[in-house]
Amino acid sequence: MSAGAIAAELDGSAASRVSFHLGHLENAKLITKRRNGRSIIYSAIFPQLSDLVAFLMRDCCQGHCKVCDQAITLFAQCTGRPTEPQTSKLALGRT
């Protein structure tokens, strides 16, 4: 997605403001960018993002949260490819 499209999906922030933050995410190797004509397209690096979320969840719950453990397991399976929508037990709050 371009910075403008990302900004529009969020809250209508200025694309330049979003680009600033995207630059930091790129420096942290959480996203990549590529040029497509005059636009710069940003893409998530899902394995790195899932590792970050897992780290934050472990740190938050200090390894003792059943919900976090389930989410970390799901993140570890993430490949970044779209899947068919499905109703998850985790999303419904069921275990």
- pLDDT given for residue 49 in this prediction: 85
Helices (H), the chain: 3-10, 15-27, 46-61, 66-76
Show me where the domains of the chain are located. 3-44, 46-95
Angle at 34 between CA 32 and CA 39, to 5 degrees: 125
Span 66-76, pLDDT tens digits: 777 777 777 77
State if pTM tops 0.85.
no
Can you tell me the distance from the alpha carbon of 9 to that of 62, in angstroms, rounded to the nearest whole number?
33
| 83 pLDDT more than 60 | no
- For residue range 7-58, what is the model confidence (pLDDT) as tens digits? 888 887 888 889 999 999 999 999 999 999 998 999 999 888 888 887 887 7
